[in-house]
Chain A
Amino acid sequence: MSRPEVTDTPELVAAIGNGQRYAIAAALNLLDDRRKKSRQSAARLLANLQNDPQHSRGQLIGITGPPGAGKSTLSAALIRVWRQRDHRVAVLAVDPSSPISGGALLGDRLRIQTSADDDDVFVRSLSNRGQFGGLSAEVWPMSIVMLAAFDIVLIETVGVGQREVDIARLCDTTCYVAQPGSGDSVQFLKAGILEVPHVLVVNKEDMGAVAVRTRSELESALNRTHPDGDWQVPVLSTSAATDKGIDALADVLEKHYQQLVSGGRLSARRRGYQSYWLHKRLQEEFGNAGIERLGGEKALLVKLQAQDMNLYEEYETLRQLL
């Protein structure tokens, strides 16, 4: 028996809201689909999801950092803590793809091992699909679907250059994982190459002195007040291998979210980030000339942020226009 393909948008929206795994999977497949007809259905689906605030209560967390910093094991440890706290968790794991064949090994799933009988954890891997530097275009829409069904949505990616910037301008809370013993993170921060994260983590505390040194270097390199304003950036030590410091990290991530919500800034922020994302996609697809035809970057961003419009529908409309 195979379940009939869900084409009816309201039904799919309802099933996603109920956390039906087959529906979430189907929606993610749809958002991945570049055929014209699918894009139209996808736009309808996202418009429906966005119109209902019920469907965007979750927290969108980005976790990034250099290769080898232990992001995946840290994510796995966080998921365990979140599950103990009865949060439902979805993960979008972004892996690089081969520029030659377009093929990719989606390996993060292996490192984020979860129990097979836990209905409240859902992992989708995504290859970077040749997006030069940045995150692939599907990340934003997929995160919207996941936010509709889960309490926490975690986007995990190797953060270097544009990808790290992208993730910082997409998530409610960004967590940067530094590699002990490597001065890179400190240099990036000082040089302003790194967007300032909301939380800095030195994982692999079990490495001892070298981890302690990296932590103190980060503490001194960092202006602790986040550009967002009233947020002091904490520097935490964790060890995913021995489960140390994970609870404290989960606490801090939650605290940041509560502050956004209680300050009433969450939806404005998301809107700002989503406008940025949308602008970037249009620029990638149609170049600066395209953006000029829409009245230029500034006007476009103002328009997108000010008006009460559905961004994804608008995105598709603008694409058609161009």
Chain B
Amino acid sequence: MSQDTVKRDRPWMMRTYSGHSSARASNELYKTNLSRGQTGLSVAFDLPTQTGYDSDHPLARGEVGKVGVPINHIGDMEILFDTIPLGQMNTSMTINATAPWLLALYVAVAERQGVDPTQLQGTTQNDVLKEYLSRGTYIFPPGPSVRLTTDLITYTVQNIPAWNPTNICSYHLQEAGATPTQELAYALSTATAILDAVQASGQIPAERFPDVVGRISFFVNAGIRFVEETCKLRAFGRMWEALTGERYGVTNPKQRLFRYGVQVNSLGLTESQPENNVQRIVLEMLSVTLSKNARARAIQLPAWNEALGLPRPWDQQWALRMQQVLALETDLLEYGDLLDGSPVVEAKVQELIEGANAEMARVEAHGGMVACIDNGYVKRELVQSHTRRMRNIESGKLQIVGVNCFQESAESPLTAGDESGIMKVDERAERDQIASLQAFRAARDQAKVDDALLQLRNAANDGNNIMPPSIECARAGVTTGEWSEVLRQVFGEYRAPTGIDISPINHGGSDALDKVRARVHQTGEELGRPLRLLIGKPGLDGHSNGAEQIAVKGRDVGFEIVYEGIRLTPAQIARAAQEEGVHLIGLSVLSGSHLELVDDIAHELEKIGASSIPLVIGGIIPEEDARCLRNKGLKAVFTPKDVDMNAIMDTMVTIIREANGLEPLA
């Protein structure tokens, strides 16, 4: 057959998850990415924006512009989309607790561009439930969060019909350790919890409910076991089709389609021999494209160096080019579904569906997904799975090339050079952002702002849809922190269960485990009391997998563990360390703000007379920063390449012994 006559499928939407420093810098990046053939935008917001703080809030220190763009008000949003016509753009916003607010700003900017908001296209992630389980950018308790989620959904279904109001995420569940079965079960349980809430809200007439179902989309993950992952996506499609029909009575096949976007797995990307991540990413991309009937609608790929630090524009371009090569050069898009009729695939799909249905029944038995957030059931299951994975890596049962086998490597030219192969955020970005925020506040009409905030408060209290007063707030020049503060006052704040209270997985233990346990015990005896370890997650970063795994492991080797969950202030950490009489503080920071946070914590410890407690840190920390941290007095810096948890525990014992003047153990 000649190549000219073949009919090819249209490629999926290609995006790069990006945003950094400032609205201006991100706007330039977006325009560059679009000119390179990217077909949609995927906005990454910084942590203060995601957790509802203005850039000048004390909790925002060190976080402004780090993992995404800071958006404080309509002025920032306008610059972010400067000369990007929103009427023709398809924009995905990774935003959850503050999703109604960011959508309100988007609508207000569209109005200013002269675009009819009903024509807007794009996605708000708007899935807060998974934030309690992974990633951690929730603000309010689960009940009010579900209400805000449903408000956004009902608003867009009625006013912005082509918008995807929520992207139910299984992505982050896999990052938190979910098996394919768990990913299926928890994502679908979340989807039904949200749809049930929309139904119960009474905001949508029954005959329009299928439109709501039809707008639900998903955001999934694809790991390196790409055959199983393909099967998982086929299972997703079938289970969703069944659920929408049986549970909600939707008959239109288009409204029962499992529509999903994907970001392939970041959990499996390694810091050691990071060039290997390229082939991992490509194989993972294959798993979400191979089967035509279960193909992704939109794909964004991580950069090869994510485990090292923030990727540079060139790294992101490389990720985009991988997609283009697959879609444009290969013949993948010329065929129908390649896997239909394969008995092997069919058997695997069935197995996954059965497992997922059983787990969904357990969630239901525990009161449904929302109750399972609050009672900690799902979080514990995830921590358990992740612990199992870590144990398998440790024991070598799960092989990871360059990490626990084939570690020897020639020096990589990719990570050589001045920048060590990662992006540096301009230190002035935070200062500039704060200055421009304060200028914006000074110039606006305060009476209008106060009035808009009052309307917002009333709607929050009265149960009216939160979107119209939020859009009014956006127009009036309200800031992200102000919008969130009003809702914090009405709804209260929340701390999610940490899930670390699982039972020990392997009692017997390996030789290495027994050895560390003996050392922990002996050192405790010598110091007169059991060793105590405080694990602190300072700052706004909610990626808590590492902290949780250290907590569980620490308990299993005999430490008494104090772990209070995410988003603690340096003062809270210092105080807890003193009150609890801990022997060591272990910090976990993945947002890139480790230097600032370590300074703050050291300062707080000194203030209360507790600076003799040794500090260690773990996280995504570039080597240059690690050196700097050691110079500041940190006793150890752990990074993703430290997968041997027994060795980490052993190092901590050694540090405690040194700090207390004990002889080293043989």
Contact = CB atoms under 8 A, between A and B. Distances in A.
Interface of A: 1-3, 21-22, 25, 28-29, 32-35, 38, 97-98, 100-107, 109-110, 113, 116-117, 122-125, 127, 129
B575 A105 contact: no
A110 B548 CA distance: 14
Contacts of A127: 530, 560
A11 B454 CA distance: 54
Contacts of B569: 116
Contact of A104 (B521, B560, B575, B611): B560
A219 B528 CA distance: 47
Given A103-B554, A107-B498, 17 more contacts: A1-B611, A3-B612, A21-B608, A25-B579, A25-B581, A32-B529, A34-B529, A38-B528, A100-B507, A101-B557, A102-B524, A102-B530, A103-B530, A104-B560, A113-B564, A123-B580, A124-B581
B495 interface: yes
A22 B561 CA distance: 20
B572 interface: yes
Nearest to B555: A103
Given A107-B498, A122-B579, A102 B521 contact: yes
B611 A106 contact: no
B609 A22 contact: yes
Interface residues of B, number: 42
B504 interface: yes
B227 interface: no
Contacts, number: 107
B558 interface: yes
A113 B572 CA distance: 10
Contacts of B529: 29, 32-34
A106 B582 CA distance: 12
B643 interface: no
A33 B578 CA distance: 16
A113 B565 CA distance: 11
B197 interface: no
Query: Most chain-B Cβ atoms within 10 A of its Cβ — which of A2, A38, A97?
Result: A2
Nearest to A27: B581
A109 to B, nearest CB: 6
Q: Top 5 closest A-B pairs, CB basis?
A: A33-B528, A2-B612, A3-B609, A103-B555, A35-B528
A22 B611 CA distance: 11
B386 interface: no
Contacts of B606: 1
Nearest to A115: B572
A109 B579 CA distance: 11
A105 B561 contact: yes
Contacts of A38: 528
A100 B517 CA distance: 10
B344 to A, nearest CB: 41
B483 interface: no
A125 B558 contact: no
A97 B565 contact: no
B559 interface: yes
28 contacts: A1-B609, A2-B610, A21-B578, A21-B608, A22-B610, A29-B581, A34-B528, A97-B560, A101-B556, A101-B558, A102-B530, A102-B558, A103-B530, A103-B557, A103-B558, A103-B561, A104-B560, A105-B500, A105-B563, A107-B498, A107-B501, A109-B562, A109-B576, A110-B563, A116-B572, A122-B579, A124-B581, A129-B530
Contacts of B571: 116-117
B551 interface: yes
B23 to A, nearest CB: 32
Nearest to B492: A241
A124 B530 contact: no
Contact of B560 (A29, A35, A106, A123): A106
Contacts of B609: 1-3, 22
Given A2-B612, A34-B529, A116-B572, A101 B504 contact: yes
Contacts of A109: 562, 564, 576, 580
A104 B610 contact: no
A104 B555 contact: yes
Contacts of A122: 579
B560 A21 contact: no
Contacts of B575: 21, 116
B579 A32 contact: no
B585 to A, nearest CB: 14
Contacts of B581: 25, 28-29, 32, 124
Contact of B564 (A104, A110, A117, A124): A110
Contacts of A113: 495, 564
Given A22-B610, A107-B501, A124 B579 contact: yes
Given A21-B578, A32-B581, A104 B561 contact: yes
Nearest to B524: A102
Contacts of B554: 103
Nearest to B573: A116
Given A33-B528, A127-B530, A101 B579 contact: no
Nearest to A106: B562
Contacts of A105: 500-501, 551, 555, 561, 563
A33 B525 CA distance: 9
Nearest to A138: B529
A25 B528 contact: no
A98 B524 CA distance: 16
Nearest to A38: B528
Contacts of A32: 528-529, 581
B625 to A, nearest CB: 25
A53 to B, nearest CB: 26
Contact of A106 (B495, B524, B580, B610): B580
B652 to A, nearest CB: 13
Nearest to A29: B581
B374 to A, nearest CB: 10
Interface string B305-322: 000000000000000000
Contacts of A106: 560-562, 580
Contacts of A35: 528
B136 to A, nearest CB: 14
A105 B561 CA distance: 5
Contacts of B558: 101-103
A25 to B, nearest CB: 5
B565 A110 contact: yes
Interface string B119-141: 00000000000000000000000
Contacts of B572: 116
Contact of A2 (B498, B555, B563, B611): B611
Contacts of A1: 606, 609, 611
A116 B580 CA distance: 14
Contacts of A101: 504, 517, 555-558
Nearest to B612: A2
Nearest to A20: B609
Contacts of B611: 1-2
Nearest to A32: B529
